[in-house]
Chains A and B, each alone.
Chain A
Amino acid sequence: MNNTVEIDNVSKRYGRIEAVRSVSFSLPAGETVALVGHNGAGKTTLIKLMLGLIHPSEGMVKILGEHPAAGEFAARRRLGYLPENVSFNAALTGRELLAFYARLKGEAPAQAMALLDRVGLAAAAGRRVGTYSKGMRQRLGLAQALIGAPALLLLDEPTTGLDPALRQSFYEIVQELRDRGATVVLSSHALTELEERTDRVVIMNRGLMVANGSLDALRRIARLPTRIRLHLTGGRPAQMPGWLESAGTWHPVNGHVIELDALPEQKMDLLRQAIHADHALEDIEVVPPTLDELYAHFLRSQGDAR
Chain B
Amino acid sequence: MKSLCIIAIKEIQEGLRNRWVLATTLLLLALSLTLSFLGSAPTGNVGVRALDVVIVSLSSLSIFLLPLIALLISYDAIVGEVDRGTMLLLLSYPVARWQVLLGKFCGHLAILAFATILGYGATAAALALTGTPIGADSWMAFAQLIGSSILLGAVFVAIGYLVSAHVQDRGTAGGIAIGIWLLLVLLYDMAILGFLVVDQGRTLSADMLNVLLLLNPTDTYRMFNLAGSAGVSSLSGMAGIAEVQTLQPPVLLGMLAVWILLPLAAATTIFSRREL
Contacts and interface: CB of A to CB of B under 8 A. Distances in A.
B14 A54 contact: no
Interface stretch (A85-93, A162-170, A212-220, A236-244): A85-93
Given A88-B86, A141-B89, 5 more contacts: A53-B91, A83-B92, A87-B86, A89-B86, A104-B3
Nearest to B83: A87
Residue of A75, A85, A92 with most partner-chain B CB within 10 A? A92
The list of the 8 closest CB pairs from A to B, nearest first, reads A81-B92, A87-B85, A91-B17, A76-B94, A104-B93, A54-B275, A77-B94, A91-B18
B13 interface: yes
A99 to B, nearest CB: 9
Interface residues of B, number: 24
A144 interface: yes
B14 A89 contact: yes
26 contacts: A53-B88, A53-B275, A54-B276, A73-B94, A73-B95, A73-B96, A76-B92, A76-B93, A77-B94, A83-B92, A85-B85, A87-B84, A87-B89, A88-B86, A89-B14, A91-B14, A92-B10, A92-B13, A92-B17, A100-B6, A101-B93, A104-B7, A104-B90, A104-B95, A106-B2, A128-B17
Nearest to B20: A91
Contacts of A87: 84-86, 89
A86 B89 contact: yes
Contact of A83 (B6, B7, B88, B96): B88
A74 interface: yes
Contact of B14 (A75, A92, A106): A92
A128 B96 CA distance: 27
Interface string B137-151: 000000000000000
Nearest to B17: A91
B85 A83 contact: yes
A62 interface: no
B94 A71 contact: no
A11 B167 CA distance: 26
B14 A105 contact: no
Contacts of B90: 104
Contacts of B93: 76, 101, 104-105
A77 B84 CA distance: 24
A9 to B, nearest CB: 20
A197 interface: no
Contacts of B17: 91-92, 128
Interface string A61-81: 000000000010111110101
Residue of B7, B10, B14 with most partner-chain A CB within 10 A? B10
A86 B85 contact: yes
A51 interface: yes
A139 interface: no
A8 interface: no
Contact of B89 (A75, A81, A92, A103): A81
Nearest to B10: A100
A17 to B, nearest CB: 13
Contacts of B91: 51, 53
Contacts of A231: none
Interface string A138-165: 0001001000000000000000000000
A259 interface: no
Interface in B212-252: none
A261 B10 CA distance: 61
Contacts of B88: 53, 83
A96 interface: yes
Contacts of B276: 48, 53-54
Contacts of B3: 104
A209 B95 CA distance: 31
Interface in A86-130: 86-89, 91-92, 96, 100-101, 103-106, 128
